[in-house]
Amino acid sequence: MHALVGENGAGKSTLMKILYGMQKPDEGTITVDGEQVTFNSPADAIARGIGMVHQHFMLADNLTVLENVVLGSEKLHGIGSGARKKIKEISERYGLGVRPDVLVEDLGVADRQRVEILKVLYRGAKTLILDEPTAVLVPQEVDALFDNLRELKSEGLSVIFISHKLGEVLSVADDITVIRRGTTVGTAIPAETTPRQLAELMVGSELPTPETAESTVTDRPVIEVKNLTIRATGGSSLGELDEPASTGLLTESTAESAAAVRRVLDDITFTIHAGEVMGIAGVEGNGQTELIEALIGLKNADSGSIAFLGEDITAWPTRRRREQGVGYIPEDRHRHGLLLEAPLWENRILGHVTERPNAKGFWLDPKGAQEDTRRIVKDYDVRTPGIDVTAASLSGGNQQKLIVGREMSHAPKFLIAAHPTRGVDVGAQAAIWDHIRAARREGLAVLLISADLDELIGLSDTLRVIYNGRLVADADPATITPEELGSAMTGAASGHLEHVENATEGDADAGPEDDAR
Amino acid sequence: MKKFDKERVLLAVAGPVIALVSAILLTSVVLIASGKNPFEPYRLMIEQATFSDVQVLIVNQASMYYLAALAVAIGFRMNLFNIGVDGQYRLAAMMTAVVGAHLALPSFLQIPVLMLVAMFTGAFWAGIAGVLKTTRGVSEVVATIMLNAIATSLIGYLTLSNVWGVQVGNNMTTGIMKNSGWVPGINLGPDVGEIYGLVFLAVVAGILYWLVLNRTRFGFDLRATGASETAAAASGVNARKMVLTAMLISGAVAGLSGLPLLLGDAHTYSLSFPTGLGFTGITIALLGRNNPVGIAFAALLIAFLDKASPALDYAIPVAYEKEIATIMQGLIVFAVVISYEAVRQWGLRRQQKRVGAELAAAAQNTNKEVAA
């Protein structure tokens, strides 16, 4: 099992794309089983036994697992019982636990990932490439995934995986390659390496920790959400993000709530004060998206209210909220944060078109915007040859740095930060954390949503757990561990989470006011 | 930085050039297939373009094409496909002609009033599609196509002699407009003809189009919506309002596109008023890449094909069918769509590679410095 780690834009994804035949190398060779090969397309790579599991799953929701697996390789084992037998065989052999006749839309994230892995094995892959496979999983699921991978390894298959989580890399990989700026800068043997050493190898600087030094929480409420409820509109048209990512044991409760009009947000109440970071932990698809959209004004509340600095903003349109000082780091930067084919300086205007330095009254101010983009590029270390290149040509982490820089430039009073460091390398991660911390000292209120539990625990002053549209638990970030938080995220625990063996208390509905601080 | 600017110019020019060259080649193939000389028609048409009277015709026609294409381009810039420019233009021209025939104000009032009538009519007709889209989710493509058909019937009804129509020989007209609504042209002599005064309207509209789209907050919101609806919504653009506004503006400009001819020469709306202007506008907007300068060149090119091709029928010693130009226009549309998409993707990939390469080079330099 070989792990590949490196900064953003270091070339990890490019390397994987070349290995999988999606891109052609300019120079150099690839050798498979001692034989030099050239791949013109993924089909060539598959023929050589190389398969890839993408970060974003490529599954058709409305088809069954079986149909998804045979799609595109109908010739291998047919589409009927032969294929079913083969799927069951692979599933049993590697302990994947995949049921061939379930609809993919009924599966949770972890199950979908296993389907993706099975899909690759079905095509006869001997080498699996996994692109950040753990990014979307909770700790328990990560452990299960690693068990699967070890199983594959013991059967003689090779696994290459990319990850930003150094701890994981060290615990599971047999060999580690570190690349930086397109070249291999080192290799490491996990047994002899600490995460800190590995990170230093990656960026040549110290491993940052997201720990907040001293509390800056004031008693000045910035955002007050009361009894916020949003109902699902029109059932199935919701799209996959709104579907709670339920693992097998949760399907009953989802089926139950689907019968009634589902509440994607159910009676959410919280207050964030100036200088406070409130973290929300939860498996993706449990209402985070809706909460963010309600706060930024993309979704209307069915009931409940949102107050910003004492003023009721429930009916305010998005633009007014942003003008008044609500910053927004979206969870999907490509869909909500960038105009991919527009130059960087136009992206700097996006979301703040009515504000200085982007506009003077009715007119745009391209000079001002360009000037300020150069400043952001410099201050936030956005790696780009210039501000006239399109946003699409930057790597994901650099795009994120631009977005963070843009939002912080308008001195927000309340920042919605959804996965602010997703896909960002350790060095940039530290810089982003520093910016958030600095703003927090000056009275910024932050709603932090992140799949990275270390980041949540390290950065937050208050922690809440969202499950099935409800804030079911709260925790003190000073004492909680990622494992405890992870179990609450699957709905196993609720109420106030204490750092003790049995953390369950009866109080299912977290108190209306945050009591953690 | 300069490198990327050059790059952009190259990309901007590559699309149209590839499209035109392949369209010409394909037309030659058609000519060969029908047993004709594959190059002679081009020579004949270019020769036509050297005559000043043909040049005047081309400029006049191009001014109308230009306005119609701008109307289409406004929609395109935010992913709205206003196929209804044709209906909006015809209805607006007819309404303007009717008002012009019955209203008699002094020129300095009459002409602006007529222009407003044209804009309002066009905006109203496009606005129907806009309202349907924003309130009921009806695709603007379907709605505007249907509105084209309805406009045809409506015009047919309104020009009946017992409504507003006036019969002149075999032709149904709306009566001659009052003199104060005529826009004088630039007379280049009896043999050459007159350039419509409202050619300048097209120029002004082009400048305004650029200014509004690139230099105003509204224009940015519009372009953002076209580039990514979700990102625009998250940035605070009210998508519905934007759709409706864009449709209204597009319709208003479409309404203006008949005026150079109506106020400059025809002075009445009749059965012989040109149709299909809106559809040609789509071709031109595509070919001009929604860019005001690009559209100007495209409008001139298509107008050239239109006005230089009739002579093919009378060419000596061998006559060619003037429909060659129509075939070529059709092929241009095909070639444009394909070549632009190909060039766009190629450009994106190329830029990504270059950015990667430049960053790697920069990284190597810093590494060397550190080492030194």
In chain B, ranges of CATH 1.10.3470 domains = 60-317
Structure tokens that stand for A93 in this block? 């052999």
* Secondary structure E strands in A260-358: 263-273, 277-281, 303-308, 311-312, 326-329
Query: Cβ contact (<8 Å) for A341 and B359?
Result: no
Map tokens 């995934």 to a residue: A145
C-alpha span between A395 and A513 (Å, rounded): 40
Q: Which of B217, B233, B362 sits opposite A364 (nearest CB)?
A: B217
pLDDT for A9 equals 55
- ipTM computed for the complex: 0.77
In this structure, of A74-83, A245-254, A387-396, B339-348, the range with the lowest mean pLDDT score is A245-254
Domains of chain A, start order: 2-203 (3.40.50.300), 220-325+412-517 (3.40.50.300), 332-410 (no CATH)
Q: What strands, in cross-sheet order, belong to the sheet with A311-312?
A: A263-273, A221-231, A303-308, A311-312
Residue A517 pLDDT > 50: no
Distance separating alpha carbons of residues A270 and A222, to the nearest angstrom: 11
- Taking an 8 Å cut-off on Cβ atoms, the answer to whether A353 and B217 are in contact is yes
Q: Is the pLDDT of residue A383 over 70?
A: yes
What's the token pair of residue B288? Answer: 């001009």
Of A166, A162, A161, nearest to A203 (Cα)? Answer: A166
How far is the C-alpha of A424 from the C-alpha of A394, rounded, in Å?
Answer: 12
The rounded mean pLDDT for chain B is 86
Contact at CB, B234 and A394, closer than 8 angstroms: no
Whole-angstrom distance, CA of residue B129 vs CA of residue B247: 8
Average pLDDT over residues B229-247: 87
Cis peptide before A195 (omega within 30 of 0): no
Helix axes A109-122, A139-154, angle to 10 degrees: 20
Token code pair at residue B160:
């009946």
pLDDT value at position B123? 94
Choosing among A12, A184, A350, A358, which should be mutated to test the B contact, i.e. which has the most B CBs within 10 A? A350
pLDDT of A491 reads: 67
Model confidence at A239, pLDDT cuts 50, 70, 90, reads: very low
Contact list, A327 vs chain B (CB under 8 Å): none
The reply to whether residue B356 touches residue A322, judged by beta carbons under 8 angstroms, is: no
How far, in Å, are B114, B172, B278 from residue B89 at the CA level? Answer: 14, 18, 7
Taking the model in full, what pTM does it have? 0.73
H helical segments located in chain B: 2-33, 40-48, 52-76, 85-102, 107-131, 140-158, 199-215, 217-227, 229-234, 239-256, 259-261, 277-287, 292-308, 323-371
Q: What is the pLDDT of residues B123-145, one digit of tens each?
A: 999 999 999 998 888 889 999 99
Whether residues B5 and A393 touch (CB distance < 8 A) is answered with no
- Is residue A496 a contact partner of residue A505, using CB atoms and an 8 Å limit? yes
Mutation pick from A364, A381, A398, A406 vs chain B, by most beta carbons of B within 10 Å, is A364
Q: Is any Cβ of chain B less than 8 angstroms from the Cβ of A342?
A: yes
Judged by a CB distance cut-off of 8 A, whether residue A22 touches chain B is no
- Report the interhelical angle of B239-256 vs B52-76 (nearest 10°): 170
Per CB-CB distance under 8 Å, the chain B contacts of A384 are 355, 359
Q: Bigger pLDDT: A376 or A136?
A: A376
Chain A segment 304-333 residues within 8 A of B by beta carbon are 317-323, 328, 330
Q: Which amino acid is at A398?
A: N
**Best of A22, A181, A349, A374 to mutate (most B CBs within 10 Å, chain B):** A181
- Give the span between the Cα atoms of A376 and A408, in whole angstroms: 10
Q: What is the pLDDT of residue B358?
A: 74
Q: Which long-range CB contacts under 8 A does B34-43 form with residues at least 24 apart?
A: B36/B318, B36/B320, B37/B318, B40/B318, B40/B320, B41/B312, B41/B320, B41/B324
Least Cα separation, residue B237 to chain A (angstroms): 7
Provide, as residue numbers in chain B, all residues whose Cβ is less than 8 Å from the Cβ of A14: 356
Picking from B98, B74, B83, the residue whose alpha carbon sits closest to that of residue B149 is: B83
Name the residue type at position A21. G
Average pLDDT over residues B65-88: 91
- Measured N-to-C along each axis, helices B292-308 and B2-33 cross at an angle, to the nearest 10 degrees, of 20
Report DSSP state, residue A422: T
Q: A274: part of which helix (H) or strand (E)? A: none
Identify any residues that bridge with B195 across adjacent strands, giving them in sequence order. B186
Q: In chain B, which residues touch A (CB < 8 A)?
A: 1, 4-5, 214-221, 223-224, 227-228, 230-238, 348, 351-352, 354-356, 358-360, 362-364
Nearest CA in chain A to B226: A339
- Which residues of chain A have a CB within 8 Å of the CB of B217? 353-354, 359, 362-364
Residue A143 has pLDDT above 90, yes or no: no
A234 lies within 8 A of chain B by CB:
no
pLDDT in tens, B249-269: 999 999 999 989 888 888 888
The pLDDT value given to residue A179:
78
Q: Provide the sign of the torsion angle of the four alpha carbons B303, B304, B309, B311, taken in this order.
A: positive
A416 Cβ under 8 Å from any chain B Cβ: no
Q: Which H or E element spans position A253?
A: helix A251-259
- Tell whether A160 is within 8 A of chain B (Cβ): no
Domain B60-317 is found in CATH 1.10.1740: no
Q: What is the pLDDT of residue B204?
A: 93
Compute, in degrees rounded to 10, the torsion defined by CA atoms B247, B252, B258, B259. -170
- Three-state secondary-structure class, residue B210: helix
What digits encode the pLDDT tens for the residues A430-466?
888 888 888 888 888 888 888 777 788 888 888 888 8
Largest CA distance in chain A: 69
d(CA A415, CA A433): 13
Q: Do B1 and A386 touch (CB under 8 A)?
A: yes
Written as six digits, the tokens of A78 are: 């047919």
Question: Is B274 a residue whose pLDDT tops 80?
Answer: yes
Work out the angle at residue B325's Cα, subtended by the Cα atoms of residues B321 and B326, and round it to the nearest 5 degrees: 100
The per-residue pLDDT for range A464-509, each reduced to its tens digit, is: 888 877 888 888 777 777 777 777 776 666 777 765 544 344 333 3
A335 and B219 within 8 Å at the Cβ level: the answer is no
d(CA A229, CA B199): 58
Average of pLDDT values for B314-335? 84
How close, in Å, is residue A393 to chain B by CA atoms?
4
CA distance to A111, A247, A261, A286, per residue, from A105 (Å) = 10, 12, 19, 15
Please check whether residue B292 is in contact with residue B207, taking contact to mean a CB–CB distance below 8 angstroms.
yes
Segment of A83-92, A355-364, B198-207 carrying the highest mean pLDDT: B198-207
pLDDT in tens, A97-113: 788 788 887 777 778 88
Phi-psi region of A216 (alpha: psi -120 to 50; beta: other; left: phi over 0): alpha
Chain A residue whose CA is closest to B1: A386
CA distance A177 to A183: 10
Strand partners, B216: A363
Q: Is residue B88 predicted with pLDDT exceeding 90? A: yes
